[in-house]
Chain A
Amino acid sequence: MTEKKRTTIILFSGDYDKAMAAYIIANGAAAYDHEVTIFHTFWGLNALRKDEPLALKKGLLEKMFAKMMPRGADKMALSKMNFAGMGPKMIKNVIKKHNAMPLPQLIEMAQEQDIKLVACTMTMDLLGLQQEELLDNIEYAGVAAYLADAQEGNVNLFI
């Protein structure tokens, strides 16, 4: 076959449902034999957070951000019908019932399929996130690295 096609997704949102859509498309594109990049910026970075708390040196504002943002994909809220946390519980039930994949497993599947997960370093600084808090085997980059992938892209999405 000819050169591989490419899919790039910017995950800006930190909502469980939107991240789920992004990761389903990414996994599908990988099955289509595309080279896939997900560029996580702003609230989308929370999908990459490890779920255990880590003792890291942080300023007051950074500590507040760390507390207020969801620690990892499983703790993210829904974009609609969140109902102070009841919504995600309900949707996870429905996901199980329909044998769909919950977000943490979709992220694992993405790593298995060699999807490139990138964390935006500029917004990591803004939100006070450090590399130790994020999943292993991801890449760190900025807008230029994203554009280098995206300009070759056949599918480019902003979620």
Chain B
Amino acid sequence: MNSNKLLDAKGLACPMPIVKTKKAMNELESGQVLEIHATDKGAKNDLAAWAKSGGHELVKHEVDNEVLKFWIKKG
């Protein structure tokens, strides 16, 4: 899936993935997609909740060898 920006949050622990995601999202325009790679096990629930609350859309997520990948479309 195409993305406008990639955020590498691998190895980071709570709350950093969400803090970095927010910062990266601020640099995108509405409709653009941010791709996030994380290894924090809580990231799935965290990012899903965060995206919903902020009016963004979690378009897709997958697991690739311990790495959790997310694509969030800015609302």
B50 to chain A, nearest CB (A): 7
**Does B28 sit at the interface, judged by CB under 8 A?**
no
A35 to chain B, nearest CB (A): 14
Residues of A within 8 A of B14 (CB): 24, 28, 100
Beta-carbon contact of B54 and A98 below 8 Å: no
A91 to B65 Cα, complex, angstroms: 28
Of A31, A99, A100, A101, the contact of B18 (CB 8 Å cutoff):
A31
Residues of A within 8 A of B1 (CB): none
Residues of A within 8 A of B16 (CB): 101
**Does A32 sit at the interface, judged by CB under 8 A?**
yes
CB-nearest residue of chain B relative to A101?
Answer: B16
A32 to B51 Cα, complex, angstroms: 9
A153 to chain B, nearest CB (A): 16
Beta-carbon contact of A24 and B15 below 8 Å: yes
Count residues of B near A (Cβ-Cβ below 8 Å): 14
CB-nearest residue of chain B relative to A34?
Answer: B53
B28 to chain A, nearest CB (A): 15
Of A31, A98, A113, the contact of B50 (CB 8 Å cutoff):
A31
Residues of B within 8 A of A98 (CB): 13
Residues of B within 8 A of A32 (CB): 18, 22, 50, 53-54
**Does A33 sit at the interface, judged by CB under 8 A?**
yes
A27 to B20 Cα, complex, angstroms: 11
Q: A1-B55, A33-B54 are in contact. Are A28 and B19 (CB under 8 A)?
A: yes
Beta-carbon contact of B12 and A27 below 8 Å: no
Q: Which 4 A-B pairs have the closest CB atoms?
A: A100-B13, A31-B22, A28-B15, A31-B18
Known pairs A28-B18, A33-B54, A98-B13. 13 more at Cβ < 8 A?
A24-B14, A30-B19, A30-B22, A31-B15, A31-B21, A32-B22, A32-B53, A33-B22, A99-B11, A100-B13, A101-B16, A109-B19, A113-B19
Residues of B within 8 A of A27 (CB): 15, 19
Beta-carbon contact of A101 and B50 below 8 Å: no
A16 to chain B, nearest CB (A): 16
